[in-house]
Each structure stands twice: as structure tokens, then as C-alpha cells.
């Protein structure tokens, strides 16, 4: 399988690469459940997490993933970085790369930040931890690991994805993954939160939540990305949004009896999801969180292995 230099999005990955990362993640679940959660895989590697947007799950799981694999991990958040003193993103990136880390994990509000930096930062693998409303590849790999554990494979299954599709990088990455892996996405959203180019993903579109639920194997709820909404007229009120697009017990009962409930977090209880549903036996939300660590271990391992291969190829060429 082709080795990976960077991870910008699901779009760059083949179905075989996705399977490889999910399977590798699967093998790390056990490490995270052991009493001593440490493996030597990334000893001597340095990972920098550079987060310009808020994060609990993604940042913590990248940190734990690196530390549990014995890498040295540094965390930088926008609030404390020199960009607050007027330094450009590129200068911050080049400064950090000059310290010779193996991997730079970046979250930023602007789509394409990682590809942009990769053109300038050589010898550093870049991982997209969420770029604006564009992609969030490690979240989707996390979800796929949760689906693997529940179903074996998502192929042929029906997942109903509900909420702010326009501003959700999780939605965009799932739309791409569904086409590659052969699962059906039923999209439910108010017209004001549905992107114009949605048709091109070959998904099914519903405006009435209740119409999408019969036959659904999973219901995946999304948060309204209020930080990306420039005005507040996408829906009349939180109460009305919850009535039309919130997942409650009654609605969950309309899906298949064993349907999974998924959410990337953070949840807004009482808005997109009712508390009793979030805490029900159907909910796999905390499994998603657990699998987030395992997947980030897999991604960091694959990227560092790719770098080691490139170094040994260069050495062989130099010897020849």
C-alpha cells in the first residue's frame, strides 16, 4: 500500500488506505485498555499539536496517542502562540518546523491550511485535525472504527446524518468516505444549512427528519457550528430547531431496532440531541471518544513509518 506523507483529508485516501488505518486503530484499542498504557513504537519522535480552534477530544486524543506510543508531545494553542503577537501562520509553521518535529498536527478555522503549510515545511508530516468547514479525517476514521466494532463493515448500511451540513467538516469528510466505502448517507438538514454542491456526493437528501429514519442503521447527529454562522437566521429558534431536527426517543424508535446513535462531540443536549437518547444503550458516543485515541495512534504510526521508509530509500540511493 502507498505510504502516507501527510494526512489532509479523506479525499486523498483510497479505500485500502482507509481500511489499513482503521485496522491499525483496531489493534491499538487494547493498548489503551491495559493497566500500563505504553508502547515503544514512536520512541525518539516529536509531535507538535498546534490548535488555533477550541478542542477537547481531538487535542487530548492526539496528545495521549503520541504519549502512549512514547513520542515527545508538545501542545500549542492559539491563545498562547506568537500569532497573537502578529506573527503570520506561515512564520509560526516555519518556526516550529525548524525545531525538527516529525509530525505537526494542525487545527485551524481556514480550509486548506494544512496543504498550504505543507508546501513550505519539508521533512515534517502534517495532520489535519480539522480545517474550517473543509475536512476532519481523523474524526471519520474514528467513526469508522466504531462502526467496524459494531458491524464489521459499514458497506451496505444506511447512516442518517443530521444537522448543520454546510459548516460541518465532519459531514464533508463522511460524504467523501461514504462514496469510497459503499455506505448510504441520508442527509437531513434545513435548506439553510445544506450546501449548494450537496448533489455531487450522491447522497439521499431529506428535509423531514421523520421520513429519513425508517431503515436507518445509525443516526449521526451534528452540532450547529455557531462559530461559523455569520448571522442567526438559519433557523427560527433553538426550540423550533430541536422540534424539527433534534433526536428524541420517539424519533429513535422509528429507526431500526438496533440503530446506533453517533455524535462527534461536543454535544448540545436539548438542541440536536435529547439527554435520554445521548445516554441510552443505543449511544456509541463515548466509544467514538475512546476510538479517537486508537485512531490517532494509527495515524501517527503510519506517518512516522512513511518518513522512516523515505529516509532509508534516500540512504539506499546514496549508497548505490
Q: Residue numbers of the site for ligand NCD (CB under 6 A)?
A: 57-58, 130, 136, 139, 169-170, 223, 264-265
Nearer to ligand NCD, 217 or 272 (CB): 272
Query: Is 36:156 a contact under the CB 8 Å cutoff?
Result: no
Radius of gyration of the chain (CA): 20
CB 151, min distance to ligand NCD, A = 21
User: Shortest CA distance to 159 belongs to which of 90, 262, 64, 27?
Assistant: 262
State how far the Cα of 142 lies from the Cα of 13, in Å rounded to an integer: 15
CA distances for 20 relative to 30, 55, 80, 290, 295, angstroms: 17, 26, 36, 19, 11
CB 159, min distance to ligand NCD, A = 16
CB 133, min distance to ligand NCD, A = 9
CB 296, min distance to ligand NCD, A = 11
First to last CA, the chain: 25
Nearer to ligand NCD, 61 or 307 (CB): 61
Nearer to ligand NCD, 45 or 143 (CB): 143
CB 1, min distance to ligand NCD, A = 26
Q: Where do the DSSP E strands lie in the chain? A: 46-51, 72-77, 103-108, 125-131, 158-162, 184-188, 204-206, 218-221, 260-262
Amino acid at each position: 500500500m502507498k505510504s502516507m506523507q501527510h494526512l489532509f483529508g479523506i479525499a486523498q485516501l483510497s479505500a485500502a488506505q482507509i481500511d489499513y488505518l482503521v485496522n491499525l486503530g483496531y489493534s491499538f484499542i487494547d493498548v489503551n485498555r491495559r493497566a500500563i498504557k505504553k508502547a515503544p513504537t514512536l520512541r525518539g519522535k516529536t509531535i507538535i499539536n498546534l490548535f488555533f480552534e477550541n478542542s477537547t477530544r481531538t487535542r487530548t486524543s492526539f496528545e495521549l496517542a503520541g504519549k502512549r506510543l512514547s513520542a515527545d508531545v508538545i501542545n500549542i494553542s492559539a491563545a498562547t502562540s506568537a500569532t497573537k503577537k502578529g506573527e503570520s501562520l506561515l512564520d509560526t509553521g516555519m518556526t516550529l518546523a525548524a525545531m525538527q518535529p516529525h509530525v505537526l498536527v494542525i487545527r485551524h478555522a481556514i480550509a486548506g491550511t494544512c496543504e498550504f503549510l505543507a508546501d513550505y515545511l519539508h521533512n515534517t508530516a502534517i495532520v489535519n485535525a480539522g480545517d474550517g468547514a473543509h475536512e476532519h479525517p481523523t474524526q471519520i476514521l474514528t467513526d469508522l472504527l466504531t462502526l467496524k466494532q459494531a458491524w464489521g463493515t459499514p458497506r451496505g448500511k444506511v447512516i442518517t446524518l443530521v444537522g448543520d451540513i454546510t459548516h460541518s467538516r465532519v459531514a464533508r469528510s463522511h460524504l467523501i468516505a461514504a462514496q469510497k466505502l459503499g455506505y448510504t448517507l441520508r442527509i437531513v438538514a434545513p435548506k439553510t444549512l445544506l450546501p449548494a454542491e450537496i448533489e455531487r456526493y450522491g447522497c439521499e437528501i431529506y428535509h423531514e427528519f421523520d421520513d429519513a429514519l425508517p431503515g436507518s442503521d445509525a443516526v449521526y447527529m451534528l452540532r450547529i457550528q455557531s462559530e461559523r454562522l455569520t448571522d442567526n437566521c438559519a433557523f427560527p429558534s433553538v426550540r423550533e430547531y430541536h422540534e424539527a431536527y433534534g433526536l428524541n426517543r420517539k424519533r429513535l424508535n422509528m429507526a431500526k431496532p438496533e440503530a446506533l446513535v453517533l455524535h462527534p462531540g461536543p454535544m448540545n443536549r436539548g438542541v440536536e440531541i435529547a439527554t435520554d437518547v445521548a445516554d441510552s444503550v443505543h449511544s456509541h458516543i463515548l466509544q467514538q471518544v475512546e476510538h479517537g485515541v486508537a485512531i490517532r495512534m494509527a495515524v501517527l504510526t503510519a506517518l512516522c513509518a512513511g518518513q522512516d521508509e523515505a529516509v532509508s530509500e534516500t540512504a539506499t540511493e546514496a549508497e548505490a
